Structure 1
Amino acid sequence: MTELLNDTQVSEALSRLPEWTQDGTKITRTVEFANFPQAIQGVNRIAEIAESENHHPDFDVRWRKVTFSLSTHSQGGLTSKDITLAEEIDGVVDALS
C-alpha cells in the first residue's frame, strides 16, 4: 500500500508542480483549453493514463475549463500516486497547448 505524504513531502512536490495547489487532502489544477473539443481530448487522454495506473482523478468540465483533483481516497489523502499523476497530467496539458 502507498503511504500518505507528510506536509514537507507535499510542499516539496508542489514546488515542482507550480500549477497545482493543495486543498485539504487533495491537490487541484484548473486548465483552460483552446475549446471544448480540446478539453474533452485532454480528459480522454488523462482517463486512459489513469485507467492504466488504476488511479483516477476527479474531473470537473466547464466548457473549455477542466479542474483536475487528485487524492488517494483509499489512504485518505495525498500519496506519491497523486504526484505522479499530476506530473502526467501536466505532460498531457503541455502536449495539447
Structure 2
Amino acid sequence: MPRLLAPDDLKTQLTSLPAWRLEGDALVRDVQRPDFAAGLALVVAVAEEAGSLNHHPDVDLRYTSVRFALWTHVSGGVTQYDVELAHRIEALIREGR
C-alpha cells in the first residue's frame, strides 16, 4: 500500500504545485476552459495519463469548469502517486489541452 505523505512533506510538494490545494484528504485543482468541448478534451487527456500510471482522479466536469481531486483510496489520503499525477495534469494544462 502506498505511504501517506506526512504534512510537512505534502507542504513541500505543494510549493511546486501552486494551483493545487488540500481539501480534506485530497489534492484539488479547478480549471476553467473556454467551452465544454475544451473541458472534455482536457478530461480525456488526463484519463490517458492516469491510465498510464494506473492511478485515477475523481473528475467533475460542468460546462467550462473541471475539478480534479486526487487521493489514494487504499491509503486514505495523499501519496506520492497523487503528486505525480498532479504534475502531469499541470503539464497538460500548460500545453493547452
TM-score, normalising length: structure 1: 0.96
Gaps of 5+ in 1: none
1:47 aligns with 2:47: yes
Displacement of 1:78? 0.6
Gaps of 5+ in 2: none
The amino acid that maps onto 2:72 is T
Q: Deviations over 1:17-51 (max 9, x none)?
A: 00000011101000001211111000000001111
1:33 aligns with 2:33: yes
Partner SS for 1:96:
coil
Q: Deviations over 1:29-80 (max 9, x none)?
A: 0000121111100000000111111100000001010000000001111100
Partner SS for 1:4:
coil
Partner of residue 13, structure 2:
13
| C-alpha contact (below 8 Å) 1:59/1:67 kept by paired residues | yes
Give the alignment's Cα RMSD to 1 decimal: 1.0
TM-score, normalising length: structure 2: 0.96
| C-alpha contact (below 8 Å) 1:38/1:96 kept by paired residues | no
- Identical columns (%): 36
Alignment of 1:60-71 (within 5 A): 60-71=60-71
Partner of residue 75, structure 2:
75
Partner SS for 1:8:
helix
Partner SS for 1:87:
helix
Partner SS for 1:18:
coil
Count the aligned residue pairs.
97
Large movers: runs of 4+ above 2 Å: none
The amino acid that maps onto 2:44 is N
Distance in structure 1 (CA, Å) of the matches to 2:28 and 2:17: 11
